Amino acid sequence: MRNSDNFKRGTAEMLILHLLQKGDLYGYEITQTFKEKSGGKYYILEGSLYNILFRMTEAGYITDYIKQVGVKRKRRYYHIEDKGRLYYLQLLNEYDKVCANVSRILDRDSDADRYAKRIEERNQQIS
């Protein structure tokens, strides 16, 4: 897999886990939140979303459950687990490392320092 593919997948996982920290969500709700929060600039196709959700379920980062909504309708909700919370912090660190390095290349050292501080604070949470 190419680095850009890994970055995109990791970013999508990070964003999904971020949303799930605020509460359990079903798939369509996740896709709509992506669209709304990004002003329609960032979206994830449902097929891609469910592949990511499946992988994260298999890894134990999230769990799913079925909830009855209405008389005949059911929805599959996703819930973040402690292992997923830790993974989320690790993904945030990786993301901030990328941002810090890009900031250094662009001669934005104050931004890079801010990212480095976030990483340090998160590492204390992870330990």
pLDDT digits 0-9 by tens, 68-115: 988 889 999 999 999 999 999 999 999 999 888 888 888 887 877 887
- Give the Cα separation of 78 and 26 in Å (integer): 6
Q: Look up the CATH number of domain 1-80.
A: 1.10.10.10
3 has pLDDT over 60: no
- Give the Cα separation of 123 and 90 in Å (integer): 8
8 has pLDDT over 70: no
Helix (H, G, I), strand (E, B) or coil at 74: strand
pLDDT digits 0-9 by tens, 22-68: 999 999 999 999 999 989 888 888 889 999 999 999 999 999 999 99
DSSP conformational letter for 62: E
Burial 22-51 (b: 16+ CB within 10 A, else e): eebbbbeebbebbeeeeeeeeebeeeebee
At residue 75, what is the residue type? Answer: R
- Would you place residue 2 in the very low, low, confident or very high pLDDT band (cuts 50, 70, 90)? very low
Q: Is 88 exposed, middle or buried (0-12, 13-18, 19+ CB in 10 A)?
A: buried
- Would you place residue 120 in the very low, low, confident or very high pLDDT band (cuts 50, 70, 90)? confident
